[in-house]
C-alpha cells in the first residue's frame, strides 16, 4: 500500500473521530482536526493538488479559531456562563 494511502487513512480516522467529538461538544475535537488537516495537507502538497491544500489550510485555521472560541468563557451581565459549548 502506498504511503499516501496509509497517511490518508490515518487522517480520515482523526477526522471522523474529530466529528464524533464535535457532535459531543468536546473541545479536543479541534486538536484532532488540526492533526487531520496537517496530514491531508501534506498529502495534497506532495501530490500537487493545490486547491485541496488551500482547503486544508483554511480548515486548519478554523480549527485554531474553534479551539480558542470554545475555551473562552462568555459571561453575560448576569454573571452566568452564556457559552453554549
pLDDT band at 72 (very low <50, low <70, confident <90, very high): confident
CA-derived radius of gyration, the chain: 16
What is the per-residue pLDDT for 79? 54
What would the pLDDT profile of 6-51 be if each residue is shown by its tens digit? 999 999 999 999 999 999 999 999 999 999 999 999 999 999 999 9
Sketch the domain layout of the chain as residue ranges: 3-71
Alpha carbon distance 56, 38 (integer Å): 7
pTM over 0.85, yes/no: no
Mean pLDDT of 63-83: 74
Q: What are phi and psi of 75, to 5 degrees?
A: -95, 130
pLDDT band at 84 (very low <50, low <70, confident <90, very high): low
Amino acid at each position: 500500500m502506498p504511503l499516501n494511502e496509509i497517511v490518508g487513512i490515518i487522517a480520515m480516522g482523526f477526522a471522523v473521530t474529530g466529528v464524533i467529538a464535535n457532535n459531543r461538544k468536546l473541545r479536543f475535537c479541534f486538536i484532532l482536526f488540526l492533526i487531520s488537516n496537517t496530514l491531508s495537507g501534506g498529502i495534497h502538497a506532495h501530490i500537487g493538488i493545490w486547491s485541496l491544500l488551500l482547503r486544508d489550510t483554511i480548515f486548519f485555521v478554523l480549527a485554531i479559531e474553534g479551539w480558542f472560541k470554545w475555551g473562552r468563557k462568555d459571561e453575560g451581565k448576569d454573571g452566568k456562563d452564556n457559552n453554549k459549548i
